[in-house]
Amino acid sequence: MQLRKYRVRLGKINHILISHLHGDHTFGLFGLLSSFNLLGREETLHIHGPDMLEEMLLDHMRYYQGDLGYDLAFHHIQCRRSALVYEDKNLEIWSLPMIHRIPTCGFLFREKPRERNILKEKIAHYGIPIKQIVEIKKGADLVLPDGNVIPNEELTLPPAKPRAYAYCSDTRPNPDIVPLIREVDMLYHESTFLEEDAKLAHETFHSTARQAAELARSAGAGKLLIGHFSSRYKHISDFESEAKQVFPDTVAVNDGDVFEVD
């Protein structure tokens, strides 16, 4: 229902990442898999999560759904250490170890470095063939027929800086991940409690807004998003105010918010 509400195209979803097996992070999968089937999905759906996720979903499918019209591919995630979860030509996704009541991981999305941008006028000026264009975009200089060398810096512009986003859900603050998420452009970190309830946060394996801000500051993050607020509090603005005392560029998020990384 939320995907429909925010106009997310279901056909574009090919990979689903599950941090842990508590109900608020998994119960929606059953209906989503059924909806995919009713919509006539044929493409394989990849599900990444803790080991028991596969058993849980397949048991449900046997009792309630029967055969799907598409394949499910399960990818088990090791939650105790960081590991590569997914990779394509543009992107890497790494798991991040969280500290929660059951095995839990966050996720780091990091773009791969792009090739340099060759200047079109230089291609025309020097008559550069396609083979050499490929090499120049990777950093090679241009050697002219007369032996003169044109430095790469005169032929290209540097690529945009690769972007990175870290998602840390349901966890006590874990300083061990700071080196892994160093200088990410954007960090989402759960903030279930306010600092006045820090003892309760620790006992329930959650974080306060201040603790999330301290971790963002330690990591040198560009922007902090906080969420997963306990319903015991009436004003979400209190979380943002608390975090901003430590990390000014903080936003307390709402469902449907969209943030772009330049």
Where in the sequence numbering do the catalytic residues fall? 24
* Burial of 1 per CB tally in 10 Å (0-12, 13-18, 19+): exposed
DSSP 159-206: PPPPPEEEEE-S-B--GGGTTTTTT-SEEEEE--B-GGGHHHHHHTT-
Q: Answer yes or no: are the C-beta atoms of 53 and 82 closer than 8 Å.
A: no
Tokens linked to 138: 């990777």
Instruction: Give whole-number Cα distances, 52 to 49, 77, 174, 228, in Å.
Output: 8, 10, 24, 24
How many whole angstroms from its chain centre is CA 146? Answer: 49
Rg (CA), the chain: 23
User: Residue type for 174, please?
Assistant: N
